[in-house]
Amino acid sequence: MTVSVVLASASPRRTALLNQLGISHQVMPVDIDESAWPDETPNAQVARLAGEKAQAALTRLRQAGELTASTLILASDTLIAFNGLSLGKPTDKEDARRILTMLSGKQHQVLTAISVANAERSVTKTITTLVNFASLTNAQIDAYWETGEPADKAGSYAIQGIGGQFVKSINGSASAVVGLPLYETRQLLSEFGVVE
């Protein structure tokens, strides 16, 4: 049986990473409330959001009568965690400045959860990568904001873009920081019979 993989994401970065694995797939963006629950840890939040995205895609396919036994959903979510707090996408320039100032010269965690689900079961796994940030000046932060890149990025930066110049080092999965950990994604897809 050939498995039909559906990527529950609008992220071109996740699509490109899945293409790197040679996995043919269709893209189905889903829209869920990504707000944190009260007292929810970053680890719990990122895993819940990846799982909810997968379930939202399954529900949409089921309601459209398009869910088959060979359909497999892959969903992912990425959060920045700093001192036990989740840092999502900035709301505006001031929020981006606050976030980047907080990360400046310090280490933070990038948490990426991947969820693979079909009509029978789902598995979610979270990958943690440590990122060491350079010290940033206010002028650097303002100039970076003006590029437009930080506006829709968790933690207000993109390691694969202009923001990569601020990353001194990483310990863990580089692809997880971009949005889809290649090794762990391949392992999970293998569990579901997509790849060897």
Catalytic residue numbers read 77
- CA 36 remoteness from chain centre: 15
Contact 132, 107 (CB under 8 A): yes
Helices (H), the chain: 12-20, 42-63, 93-103, 138-146, 174-178, 182-191
List Cβ neighbours of 115 (8 Å cut-off, separation of 6 or more): 47, 50, 51, 53, 54, 73, 74, 75, 76, 122, 123, 124
Whose CA is closest to 142, among 103, 104, 95, 97?
97
CB atoms < 10 A from the CB of 59, how many? Answer: 12
Per DSSP, what are the bridge partners of residue 167?
133
Q: Where are the alpha helices (DSSP H) in 81-169?
A: 93-103, 138-146
Contact 6, 25 (CB under 8 A): yes
